[in-house]
Amino acid sequence: MPASRVCCVASSARSSPSRSRVGAVSLRREMLQVARLSPKLLGDSAATVADFFRQQLHADGGFRDREGKSDLYYTVFGLEGLVALWADVPASVAGYLESFGEGGGLDFVHLACLARAWASLGREAQAAAPRKAIAQRMASFRSADGGFDSEPGAPRGTIYGCFLAMGAYQDLGEELADPQGIVSCIESLAAADGGYSNQPGMPQGLTPSTAAAATLLRQLGRPPGEAVGQWLLSRASPQGGFFAMPAAPMPDLLSTATALHALGGLHVDLEPIREPCLDFLDSLWSSQGGFYGNWSDDHLDCEYTYYALLSLGHLSL
């Protein structure tokens, strides 16, 4: 990251928002519009970050995981990173996605990633996506309480499951049945301290779970109260970044990106934490163009580098 960081007033992203049957703007598009502001702070380093994403592309059209193998999960972040930086998406990615067919052999997480990866391609390439088949398979992961879980037929859903599923339906342009079921699932996962967790009855919430809950509830027309925003702010480290939980030894980039995105959606003023968060991101930057996940991380990947773009986008506003 360049040493000189000038925060700019945001302008709207040049692409028109994709409308969905749940949420006026999809979860994916909402994050992408913000991540596309990251070059304002990256400056000339934006080209280096784009090169990093390109270097993660495998010969088969997928993006590399931390072991160097193609993986749908990392492919999502590789694609979104390139799109956020206004870079061209490699044509070979479409063939990689087509190799998964209707997603019959995929677990829940990778099925949701297949839906999101198709949504990251151009309209012509998206025509090959088996949207309805993926959506039908996604429905099998609906839990008895109206949420979604990684295992079919689970009694309870998780906030992570609800986030992935709702995003997948939006990306596929398919209607999500009973969105109130997701609201009820999220509400049942409120923690005693005012945050949210992926398990019921927990004394403390987790930052990524609470951020996801706030974003989902807002998208579903049930925005949380001011207390949730203050809860998220309380997880900010004085040295920059956000802790996943009070006992965490250090802040991390996942918690930071998700918290900033949720706070932005709740219109919470980020000015008091802007400079420390920029310093935190600067400390995770590598001259190779990627960002580490935390201070103890020694691997660069597409996922955390995309989280850095999302964080920088919010901090540029």
Nearest to 86 by CA among 13, 30, 26: 13
pLDDT at 3: 37
Average of per-residue pLDDT across 105-109: 98
Q: CA–CA separation, 27 vs 168, rounded Å? A: 9
pLDDT, position 23: 62
Fold of 27-315: Glycosyltransferase (1.50.10)
* Per-residue pLDDT tens over the stretch 168-203: 999 999 999 999 999 999 999 999 999 999 999 999
What is the average pLDDT value for the chain, to the nearest integer?
94
Q: Which amino acid is at 216?
A: L
pLDDT band at 22; cut points 50, 70, 90: low
| Sequence spans of domains, the chain | 27-315
The confidence score (pLDDT) of residue 24 equals 72
Q: Averaged over 10-30, what is the pLDDT?
A: 57
Residue 24 to residue 140: CA distance in whole angstroms = 25
Of the listed ranges 12-16, 144-148, 150-154, the least confidently predicted one is: 12-16
Q: How far apart are CA 285 and CA 207, in angstroms?
A: 22
- The predicted-structure confidence for 261-290, as pLDDT tens digits, reads as follows 999 999 999 999 999 999 999 999 999 999
pLDDT at 16 over 60: no
Say if residue 18's pLDDT is above 60.
no
Nearest one of 52, 74, 65 to 120, comparing CA atoms: 74
Q: Please check the confidence at residue 1 and state whether its pLDDT lies above 80.
A: no
- What is the spatial distance between Cα 316 and Cα 206, in angstroms, rounded to a whole number? 25
Token digits of residue 143: 């839990």
Name the packing angle between helices 302-315 and 253-265 (round to 10°): 40
Distance of CA 229 to the CA centre of its chain: 18
Over residues 94-104, the mean pLDDT reads: 98
